[in-house]
Structure 1
């Protein structure tokens, strides 16, 4: 069912998108600011279900590519994603019917809203990750048969390029990453153009409306002095994700972080309040694996998010700091992200992690025995 996004929705949307973004997807404040100004000038943006798309409609997703830590210092001009979409439209010889996120995240859930507001087109309530991942081939779009090529990439000076690697989405990621680094560490893209029938078949539905709902859940829990983890668990129980729970609380005692090869990489260490236990979280733009006292508790593609202990606000990987009091909260992924085909693309082995994927709710049950 279609609905509108107004400026009053942006706080909840950015918060929920950052939660699902698993530490990545870009700074939520930047995305919220971009969209807020666009909505003020142009009015609300319409969000539509995949079921409302005609089979022959043209959906062109838009996003940021690069290291989120760079974005903190290199703010977007605001023209870049529009330039990328226009370049791809010109290459395809067709105008986009709608745009769509490629992932959940602080800025990558909001860039399509900004584009839609500027161009007067709707946004599809779906995406290709159901969370955030660091590489472009890590999309349900690709896994279930949509090619990322051709891709358009743009910078703040109006420069654009078209990349086409056919069905080789991994090579597309490599080429686009090189250009993003050359441009300055971040740039803006339009890719995975598809028709309505393909969107219904390959996208994870309802993720924008879910982000809005989860962001509202966290805000209302804080306002009503309820436990945000309990509120999130209850909200998630009737969604495609199904299960969410707190796995650790403590204080961040160390963050090792570096920008390399177009990614923000590192490890955060959290010390427990009432025990000698520690939780470590490895990240590559997004949180990949959480270990408690060396034992894996959550691993990709399941979601790991870090919440401020008092406010419940999600903290992105580039915003982790020594001394923050935090809660580590885990969320199970939708079943279409746990198939053998999906795990081959964005399971533990895709990140060089030498372990098999085990759903985190199964690990949690085993830990209670």
Structure 2
């Protein structure tokens, strides 16, 4: 175990935004929520998954809805205690620890804030190793773990608990309530035992986020390497394209941010074009008409000077970005994983081909 304070939060937010694949919300907003809680209540204890007893009750805390909404409709701060009380009452025992459900600018931060305010530990594990738009899209679904009982609360104090027949039904019903509550709510879902968390969770995600954040913060201190080479080595990323944002098409629909960003090549990519399509998270990267990466592999856009990740809601005309591909967690490449989050689920007319194969010439 170790402590997470404000310096760690800064790096975790940056690294998680990279792993968020364009989604997961604005890391600045999430960072403010976590820092505010730690300043008031003290640092948070981060547990290694193996330190958690097998019979302990572990619960992810997250925000559900369209991340852009958080810029106008903030998190109140009382939601965490309400969720804790609802879940503890349902099970007749207290929650042992919180955990993030995904890596992303907001959902990597909310469990830190919740743990700080309730003086609880957080576990270094999540259910994606990245971010995805729908709540059934977690490694726990692959493991047969139910999303419910799922507790939901908004900033006004409205709350409910769902019990559903499938995780997809949880997504459908909770999404409807989320829209009624203003397209953004706080939730607790996938309550599980320590044993289940260890078996199907993505271990070390908070630590990986922190390491990536530190690498980005110190990207200019790279010795004989160029900052770009250093960034790609530290992130284990594949450079897919570099360009200037020529157009952004974006709409909020059914509680999701949908859109497409069009890029005109710069540097060695001058004269070439690319586009990235997204649903909260980036789904596909296409260069000169050829798909170079698809979900469930990660597609992230980073600033060409600072290498700070650019989320889908931060895309602006004229900004210069590098498109980077990162390999996804191994469970997403299984048959069940591809069925849950592969390109065809999102309406993309292509089979899933691993990123490293596409970059060698797959199509």
Please state which band the TM-score falls in when normalised by the shorter chain. over 0.9
TM-score normalized by structure 1? 0.94
Is structure 2 residue 247 aligned with structure 1 residue 283?
A: no
User: How far apart are the structure 1 equivalents of 2:192 and 2:327?
Assistant: 27
Whether 1:83 and 2:76 are equivalent positions in the alignment is no
Instruction: Measure, in 2, the Cα distance between the counterparts of 1:366 and 1:251.
Output: 24
Match of residue 112 from structure 2: 113
In 2 relative to 1, CA 228–99 (structure 1 residues): closer, same or farther, beyond 3 Å? farther
Given the alignment, which residue of 195, 198, 203 partners 2:196? 198
CA distance, structure 2, for counterparts of residue 112 and residue 211 of structure 1 = 14
- TM-superposed deviation, 1:206: 0.5
C-alpha displacement at 1:41, in angstroms? 1.7
1:19 maps to 2:18 = yes
Structure 2 match to 1:239: none
* 1:290-329 alignment, distance < 5 Å: 290-329=285-324
CA distance in 1, matches of 2:6, 2:100: 19
Q: Distance in 1 between matches of 2:226 and 2:256?
A: 34
CA deviations over 1:102-132 (Å, ceiling 9, x no partner): 1000010010001110111111111001100
CA distance in 2, matches of 1:40, 1:73: 23
Q: Which residue is equivalent to 1:250?
A: 243
TM-score by length of 2: 0.96
Cα offset, 1:228, TM superposition: 4.2
Range with greater deviation from structure 2 (104-113 or 88-97):
88-97
Q: Is the partner of 1:271 in helix, strand or coil?
A: strand
Query: C-alpha offsets along residues 211-258 of structure 1, whole Å, 9 cap, x if unaligned?
Result: 00000001111355864442233234xxxxxx4121110100000000
CA distance in 2, matches of 1:228, 1:136: 36
Contact 2:222–2:230, Cα closer than 8 Å, also in 1:
no
Aligned match of 2:164: 165
- The equivalent residue for 1:353 is 348
Over aligned residue pairs, what C-alpha RMSD do you find? 1.4
**Residue equivalent to 2:52:** 53
Count of paired positions: 359
Q: CA separation in 1, counterparts of 2:246 and 2:13?
A: 27
Q: Partner residue of 2:187?
A: 189
Distance 1:86-1:222 versus aligned 2 partners, 3 A rule: farther
Contact 1:299 1:348 in 2 (8 A): yes
Residue 72 of structure 1 deviates from its aligned partner by 1.5
Superposed CA deviations along residues 280-318 of structure 1, whole A, max 9, x for unmatched, are: 000000001000011100100000000011111101000
Q: Is the 8 A contact 2:80 2:114 kept in 1?
A: yes
Counterpart Cα distance in 1 of 2:283 and 2:266: 23
- Report the counterpart of residue 174 of structure 1 in structure 2: 172
| Whole-angstrom distance in 2 between the partners of 1:95 and 1:140 | 24
Distance 2:17 2:227 in 1: 15
Give the distance between the partners of 2:164 and 2:231, measured in 1 at CA.
41
Q: Gaps (5+ residues) in structure 1?
A: 237-242
**In 2: Cα distance, 1:139 partner to 1:254 partner:** 32
Deviations along 1:250-283, one digit per CA (max 9) or x if unpaired, are: 1000000000000000000011025221110000
Q: Deviations over 1:310-368 (max 9, x none)?
A: 1111010001000001111110112122111111101112111111000111111227x
Tell me if structure 2 keeps the 8 A contact 1:252–1:325.
Answer: yes
